[in-house]
Amino acid sequence: MTDSAAMRELLGEEARETQALIDSLTSNIDDLSSAREGDNSDDEHDPEGSTLAFERSQADAVLIQSRDRLTQIAEALERLDDGTFGTCTSCGQAIPAVRLEVRPYTPMCVACAS
């Protein structure tokens, strides 16, 4: 049996952390963008330029992941509301409590997620 109040708390915490990460990534990406704009040299022949491009693509990847996570958290909160939280959205089996403690936003059991 899952304690939904505690789970709601956990999800809220996770959402705040994820949002903070998104905010800091967004400002990093802005910094990287303006660093590149201030640099008139050709990226392909400039090691500095390609490092910035690499950092930017890394930050973009984490940003996309974090936005996905926020969506998963919102969906998990909806499942808490409609009483389906803790049930795998794929196979309908209960998701083990230990898994929910680590990833409260996960929609699927280990078998279905892998």
Q: CA angle, corner 103, sides to 11 and 111, nearest 5?
A: 140
Q: From the centroid of its chain, how far is CA 39?
A: 31
Query: Does position 109 bind Zn ion by CB under 5 A?
Result: yes
* Contact between 66 and 14 (Cβ < 8 Å): no
Question: DSSP 3-state assignment of 50?
Answer: helix
Tell me the site size for Zn ion, rule CB under 5 A.
5
Residue span binding Zn ion (CB under 5 A) among the ranges 3-11, 46-54, 69-77, 86-94: 86-94
**Which residues between 12 and 41 bind Zn ion (CB under 5 A)?**
none
Helix (H, G, I), strand (E, B) or coil at 94: strand
Which of 79, 88, 100, 106: binder of Zn ion (CB under 5 A)? 88
Instruction: Report if residue 91 touches Zn ion, rule: CB under 5 A.
Output: yes
84 touches Zn ion (CB under 5 A)? no
Q: Which residues bind to Zn ion, rule: CB under 5 A?
A: 88, 90-91, 109, 112
